[in-house]
Amino acid sequence: MVAGVERGYRYRFYPTAAQAVLLTRTFGCVRLVYNLGLQARRDAWQQRQETLDYQATSALLTGWKKTAEFSFLTEVSCVPLQQALRHLDVAYQKFFNGECRFPRFKSRKRSRRSAEFTASAFTHKPGELRLAKLMDEPLAVVWSRPLPDGAVPSTVTVSQDRAGRWFVSLRVVVPAVTAPATTTMVGIDAGLNRLLTLSDGTTVDNPRHESRERAALVRAQRKLARKEKGSRNREKARVKVARVHARIADRRRDALQKVTTRLVRENQVLVIEDLAVRNMLKSHTLARAISDASWGLFRTLLEYKAQEYGRTLIAVPRWYPSTRLCSVCGGRAEKMTLSVREWTCTGCDTRHDRDVNAARNILAAGLAVTACGADARPQRGTTSRTGDRR
């Protein structure tokens, strides 16, 4: 276990009119500097086969501030602008390492509105936070939970979501989570009728947050469609739609945070399926339900929590036929549709619950990989990609 881990503590705050104006201007300047830096790096390579790094773009930023066209950049704190260029440099490094695609220009309407302040651009005291250019008055932060004792924020990120809500995120280093080791192992099968089914028979109901809010979402979207483009009323209607989406996302994340924390606390080894969620979303009949279940977020939360708690997380290959394989005798059933929730093994006459059987097979396959490096393949015959889809 590492001595400490980085965590972000996010709080909502309510800026004054003057603070909102300056922060909104900062968001715009951050986006502009990022785009200027990206354009400069692209032109340098295309025209002169020259590679610019962060130091070179930072020097360009100094020159941009001295021009009449971009003199307004001096009205906001210089730190978020420099951080934007650092983020651009990181994006280039990840691209060359094959971790992401080539950096793209930020859009005023679609890009996330945020600005990052380092330690030189903010002051923090218990219950008080002040930002550069806004030192006269602290931010009205709702401190919903205290920071860990002795934690000193290294960066502060101010953001505004599409629903118009303001947030501040403080990055701190906290002691690693210590949890007693257990001997419990669990296989996890993700589904739609049930959000999760565990190998011990425990199930987690699918809350279907989007389905519950669908009527409100439809009403808000219809009102938005009637408004004239570019009008203030359309912007108000857009915010109402965004608030419904934000309410759905908040409830979904809260539920997944709770269930993933419980899983990593109670189990030493967790085995899941390596689902290709992005490909599954191409299904026109199941895309909405899969998005509402948010399997990708579930795995992301489970991965970082398992690492922090010192747990072992194993991903079984996605083509492993966990549903059609009998967890008792290893017999393999014929292809079955999603409507089949229970089936009987012809080899041992065992009656299986579809999801519980899949979770048990996932656990067995994961333990086989861990114990002897065996490949997670069906015991009988070969497996084709078409046949293994569930």
Domain containing 331 — which CATH number? 3.30.420
The reply to whether 363 falls in a domain is: yes
Band the pLDDT of 47: cuts 50, 70, 90: very high
Same-domain status, 19 and 47: yes
pLDDT band at 275 (very low <50, low <70, confident <90, very high): confident
Strand 194-198 relative to strand 4-13, pairing: unpaired
Cβ(204)–Cβ(337) below 8 Å: no
Say if residue 144 is in the same domain as residue 192: no
Q: Is 98 left (phi over 0), alpha (psi -120 to 50) or beta?
A: left
Residues 128 and 197 in one domain: no
- Of 175, 192, 225, at which residue does a domain stop? 175
Please check whether residue 41 lies inside any domain of the structure.
yes
Is residue 141 a contact partner of residue 168, using CB atoms and an 8 Å limit? yes
Same domain (yes/no): 200, 116: no
Evaluate if residue 1 carries a pLDDT over 50.
Answer: no
Whole-number Å distance between alpha carbons of 127 and 123 = 11
pLDDT at 310 (0 to 100): 87
The answer to whether residue 219 is domain-embedded is no
Tokens 């996605």 correspond to: 318
SS3 214: helix
Whether 359 contacts 188, CB under 8 Å: yes
Task: Flag whether 263 is in a domain.
Answer: yes
Other residues' Cβ atoms within 10 Å of the Cβ of residue 373: 7
Inter-axis angle of helices 295-309 and 232-266, nearest 10: 40
Share of the chain above pLDDT 90, in %: 69
Q: Work out the pLDDT band at 137, boundaries 50, 70, 90.
A: very high
For 61, other C-beta atoms within 10 Å of its C-beta total 19
Looking at the structure, tell me whether residues 100 and 198 fall in a common domain. Answer: no
190 and 161 in a single domain? The answer is no
Q: Are residues 23 and 103 in the same domain?
A: yes
Q: Please report which confidence band the pLDDT of residue 85 belongs to, taking 50, 70 and 90 as the band edges.
A: very high
State how many domains the chain has. 2
Across the beta sheet with 194-198, the strand order is: 203-205, 194-198, 185-190, 269-273, 312-316
Catalytic residue positions?
A: 189, 273, 355
Cα–Cα distance measured from residue 83 to residue 219, given in angstroms and rounded to the nearest whole number? 40
Query: Which of 135, 133, 181, 129 shows the shortest CA–CA distance to 156?
Result: 129
In a domain, 15, yes or no: yes
Q: Is the residue at 141 inside a domain?
A: yes
- Note whether 164 and 278 are same-domain residues: no
Structure tokens at 5: 């881990």
In a domain, 243, yes or no: no
On whether the CB atoms of residues 293 and 190 are closer than 8 A, the answer is yes
Which of 132, 158, 175 finishes a domain? Answer: 175
- Cα-based distances in Å from 51 to 34, 42, 244, 304: 16, 9, 44, 34
Q: 53 and 92: one domain? A: yes
Lowest mean pLDDT of 40-49, 111-120, 333-342, name the range.
333-342
Indicate the residue among 158, 175, 192 that finishes a domain: 175
Q: What whole-number distance in Å separates Cα of residue 159 and Cα of residue 164?
A: 10
In angstroms, the Cα distances linking 325 to 116, 259, 264, 361 are 50, 27, 27, 7
Same domain, 297 and 200: yes
Which residue has 């190998």 as its token pair?
Answer: 199
Residues 200, 98 share a domain: no
pTM for this entry:
0.82
Which range of residues forms the domain containing residue 187? Answer: 178-205+251-390
The whole-number pLDDT of residue 139 equals 96
Query: Is residue 238 over pLDDT 50?
Result: yes
User: Given pLDDT bands bounded at 50, 70 and 90, which one contains residue 324?
Assistant: confident
Are 65 and 189 part of one and the same domain? no
Is residue 351 included in any domain, yes or no?
yes
